[in-house]
Amino acid sequence: MKRISGYSFKVALCLWLLSLAAAGQDTIDVPLRLGAGAALYSPVAAVAGLYPRGAEINGFYDFNERITLAADGGFSSFIHENYNYRYENDGFYLRMGADYNLLNPLLARGRYYAGISLRYGLSLFSQKVPSIEYENYWGDYLTSGESSFHAAHFLEASPGIRAEIFNNFFIGWSVNVRLLVFSGTGKHLRAVDIPGFGNGSKPFSSGFNYYLSVRIPYRTKRVIYIKPVRETEGEETNPDRQTSGIGR
């Protein structure tokens, strides 16, 4: 009985391997990379006279051909002046998470990315409101808010794209949608801006950013891409056409 089951298993394994061969498969060597880069929005905003101003650097590590572990860190300075108040803050932030490449490895080849990133963010900042003007029935009233230090937490989802322009040099951009989990400021003197997040007076924030990065291959991973063949009578199989594929 033992011999029969072992023999049956070997037959089944051979049949499965033959079916793979009949379906067709590609083998591609995908470079896994690690590297660092910088976001461009804050320095460009500084040149253009906009706020927030600062700098952000990014670090990346390809876990596999689809998933990249990433961390962003930066600082920002923000000043906002309205007709009735002036707000200032300075702070640092850190975002950590992962990117998932929606392109299959046969297309991406370790050079192109179109996917979505998920991040957890922490922001440490100090804020002050040097002037508040308030007008009502009793007249004009001037006051201010004292400097205070806070820690905020948020989540971010960022669909984006990235491409290798020349040897190991990448450029890309992403659209960011963020959810404020905890502002740390209380419900009255909320932050007008939270470094790394955006408008702190609302629970959601959105924006976009450009990135430049250098990503160096640290090893190569062989990925098997299986092309299922549609078995229709009289139809010839075009080796250049894939109906679906699974990259392993």
Contact residues toward another protein (CB under 8 A) are 80, 82-85, 104, 107, 111-112, 114, 129, 132, 134, 136-139, 141, 143, 145, 161-163, 165, 171-173, 187-190, 192-193, 199, 201-202, 206-208, 240-245
Q: Which is nearer to another protein, 8 or 126 (CB)?
A: 126
| Residue 218: CB minimum distance to another protein, A | 22
Q: Which is nearer to another protein, 1 or 142 (CB)?
A: 142
| Residue 129: CB minimum distance to another protein, A | 7
The three-class DSSP label of residue 170 is strand
Of 53, 47, 55, the closest CA to residue 72 belongs to 55
Q: Which is nearer to another protein, 29 or 81 (CB)?
A: 81
Q: Which is nearer to another protein, 27 or 136 (CB)?
A: 136
Long-range contacts of 71-76 (CB under 8 A, 24+ apart): 71/95, 71/96, 71/97, 72/39, 72/96, 72/119, 72/196, 74/39, 74/42, 74/195, 74/196, 75/195, 76/42, 76/52, 76/195, 76/196
| Dist CA 234 CA 236 (whole Å) | 6
Q: Which is nearer to another protein, 7 or 141 (CB)?
A: 141
Burial tier of 165 (Cβ tally within 10 Å: 0-12, 13-18, 19+): exposed
| Residue 48: CB minimum distance to another protein, A | 11
| Residue 142: CB minimum distance to another protein, A | 9
